Structure 1
């Protein structure tokens, strides 16, 4: 974005000051994450840059910690558990969040704001409070130390993201399409899958990706509800930091960063596609 020709000195100073401050904030947020990536290739078992790495010596870099990551049974179990729990919780959260968003999009729904606030409350309430409540509740049901308990807990945390994204997609939805389908004899199920779903699909997929990331990133719930067999990647990283510090943690973090970047790119692609479908140009 270039400045207009009529911009004065004050406007130019303000323009470059705001962008410089935004750049500093970006570096403050991103630099700690970027540092992890080269450290994960360190041949030495240290959490710091060696002289060989600073001089770009090829012998100072290695895939040693990635190999250990793939050979360690605990890390393999953690990856399997995280994938299973994240997939199942995402499916549940996506289904519940989509249905809730469709209901909240109705203008004649009573207590709409109260329901909306209640449904997105897991985003507002501190996770440790939610985890403690879930632990006591699931303990009475006998599913506290099981995959099912963690899946349900992660579904609760991921549902608000689906509700928000699908609700935002439904803002520009033309409800006359639904009424037209009903007037032609289409059932509610047929109307949803043939009319509503294709339009709100980008919002549903975006919400599902947010729920997936939330499940992969969650550690507090697993600490409360998980046992030895329910160890996930964040739980394994937490245990590694407290029990046995190893650059293997950095290798796992790098893989998670790569996965997060790919998901963010996918979400941005879906957002732009949704805007194009609604006739909005950026």
Structure 2
């Protein structure tokens, strides 16, 4: 990617979650190149500091700082929001990028299934906690990284934590059904959020970054993982749509849409447009967040 004159981000403040590696790191790096002040979220301090140093070095931009939180914990998400509010008076872009696919179903220390906690509940909570900062920017942008996997997702309101539908029989990636379910939640959340933000100046969009060689492939069988790593595009390619939704003036007023890896708005699944389901998912997510 190269910086373009029409997409200069100087004077803008951006938070990218899951930015110590993969697509998140590439996204933060490109936005820093474009002049943004970037808050790099990481769970591990050593990896986060290494990412900040790499971004500062490659972008020649000193306005890159680290914020730490374990997104598996609702308390940590709230603390992350407090830390961001303490550092900045406004937030121009929030990119909810962090996601995981554990090899087996796990519970967080709070007793919440971990994919549901990280992939859905954390962005739901963080976004709502930071809405005042996004509104203060005058034209805040919320970018939720979903996936084409959402088309295989099922949101069962009686099984949000994937106790009965964690794996897909015969599929090589462990936990893929649960991942697909949470990616559908991302799109449902985005559309409901966009409806609720109507008239505020804040936009919310979801995206598919492409099928990219990242750490999410670690649950693949060894030989398949090796082949996947050789042939799949690198994270910088997967960051393109996130960067476009964060910086392109032509996309500034767009909201409640789903974009592909070419930054083109495309139809999402029929299930993602179920407004009653989206409202109920929102209500149940609020209950977890209390």
**Do these two structures clear the TM 0.5 threshold for a shared fold by scoring above it?**
no
| TM-score normalised by the chain length of structure 1 | 0.26
Q: Which entry has the higher C-alpha Rg, 1 or 2?
A: 1
Structure with a larger share of its residues in strand? 2
Specify which structure has the bigger relative contact order, considering alpha-carbon pairs within 8 angstroms and separated by 6 or more residues.
1
Structure with a larger share of its residues in helix? 1
